[in-house]
Amino acid sequence: MKRGNLPKAPNYTNAALVMGLVNLLWIFMTLWALFGLPVVLGLSYLLNLLITRIGARA
């Protein structure tokens, strides 16, 4: 097996971000249908706080 001539790995960043958005949307829609909009708004606020805290740490 040749070790020196490996092909470049594909960049799947955009695909991962799009699928993350799709998953977040269906989860929020399911929670909205089961528990109502206030639960979705509260969860989204908590996610925003978590992302902000992680961003401040890095």
| pLDDT, tens digit, 9 for 90 and up, residues 29-56 | 999 999 999 999 999 999 999 999 999 9
Question: What gap in Å lies between CA 25 and CA 47, rounded to an integer?
Answer: 13
Q: Residue 3 half-sphere exposure, CB side, CA atoms within 13 Å?
A: 0
Q: What is the pTM of this model?
A: 0.75
Question: What gap in Å lies between CA 13 and CA 17, rounded to an integer?
Answer: 6
Q: Quick one: residue 50, left, alpha or beta (phi over 0 = left, psi -120 to 50 = alpha)?
A: alpha
What is residue 6's predicted lDDT score, i.e. its pLDDT? 79
DSSP code at position 3:
S
